[in-house]
Amino acid sequence: MGPIKTQLTSRFNLNSPIISAPMAGIATPELAAAVTKAGGLGAIGAGNYSSQELKKQIQTVRKILGSPEDKPVPLIVGFLGWCLDKSEASDDPCLVAVLDQNPVAVWFAFGVDMGRYIDQVHDYNARTGRNIFIFIIVSSVEDARIAAAKKVDALVVQGHEAGGHGGAEALPLLVLLAAVMREFEAANEKPLIMAAGAISTGAQIAGLLSMGADGVVLGTRFLFTPECSYGAAQKQALLDADHNSTARTAAFDEVLKLNNWPPNCNGRAISNKIIDDVKAGLGLEERIQKFEESKRSESDTSRLVVWAGSGVGMTNEIKGAADVLRDLHSETVKQLQISTKLLS
């Protein structure tokens, strides 16, 4: 099918306004490359990787796509603010190392002061003559205002339904997207607006584009792919999940001993005995002990952390990422065509 034309697809010469989320440790170079090759825009997450490991991953994407060394590689590299704080304070800072690899875009999320990193990218672009695009996650209208004032290129409006980490008090995606779009409707210059959170079907994508979104970001949908790094037990948990299988809570991070996330940020994952332990009133020490005992067992998956959004029940098969992208594109085009008939 033909391309879908939005500001996002025009900016990056894409066929589809679909981005695969930069899920740290989960979105592999192979996943990112497959999405880009199929007409979307793929991403990897920097997480706590070293600069050398990130260079290796970016080069893997470049090689798969056949991107010349002297051209930008069509890839987003996502940074978590708190991980970037540690990296930039170490003897192995990652941000400039990644910028030197010339990805088409970087992505910032979940930091206390993301402005300094946004400024750093702007300065780098001015110094080198490059035009590396800046995405940033926002989970409130106030977040969006602050980010726009820093001259980011795109806002990723993330609703409460999203899997993995996000705003603990974020509104549902449809409400938040409408509120953010209203905030900028009279602006002469405004960032592109992406929608994120429990998006699993082409019909949803068509609806969000009709609302005015320039593109969409999908994470959970791309977990159901062989390219995703989730193991067999995690993928089985995804396949077994239904529409009420996830929970947004700090409980998953608590047992993982991840206390670096900024205030008002928690995670959505598939609900299991980790949540049962909280409901049973167990103290943190006992919950950690039970989690670690379960992790040591090869057969016990009852406390396996599987990050996923509330749309997890919409998918019931593992399929290659390129096929997923093409299916979503086709579904979106068909739904947009159906929508136009409402006015005929």
Residue 275: its H or E element: helix 273-279
Confidence (pLDDT) at 342: 87
Contacts of 79 (CB under 8 A, 6+ apart): 45, 46, 94, 95, 98, 106, 107, 108, 109, 117
Give CA angle at 339 (338, 343), nearest 5°: 110
Confidence (pLDDT) at 76: 99
Confidence (pLDDT) at 186: 87
Confidence (pLDDT) at 343: 86
3-state secondary structure of 313: helix
CB 234 within 8 A of CB 226: no
Per-residue pLDDT tens over the stretch 304-340:
999 999 999 999 999 999 999 999 999 999 999 999 8
3-state secondary structure of 61: helix
CB 167 within 8 A of CB 140: yes
Is it true that domain 8-231+311-343 has CATH number 3.20.20.70? Answer: yes
Confidence (pLDDT) at 341: 87
Contacts of 130 (CB under 8 A, 6+ apart): 72, 99, 102, 124
Structure tokens at 267: 């995670």
Confidence (pLDDT) at 57: 98
CB 155 within 8 A of CB 133: no
What is the distance between the alpha carbons of residues 83 and 90, in angstroms, rounded to a whole number?
A: 11
Per-residue H/E/C for 97-126: HHHCCCEEEEEEECCCCCHHHHHHHHHHHH
Distances (CA, A) of 140 to 82, 135, 137, 160, 245: 19, 15, 10, 10, 25
Confidence (pLDDT) at 1: 72
Q: What's the whole-model pTM score?
A: 0.96
Across 232-339, the runs of DSSP E, i.e. the strands, are 246-249, 265-270
Domain positions in the chain: 8-231+311-343
Give CA angle at 109 (251, 166), nearest 5°: 35
Closest to 320 (Cα-Cα) out of 76, 16, 62, 31: 31
User: What residues in the chain have per-residue pLDDT under 70?
Assistant: none
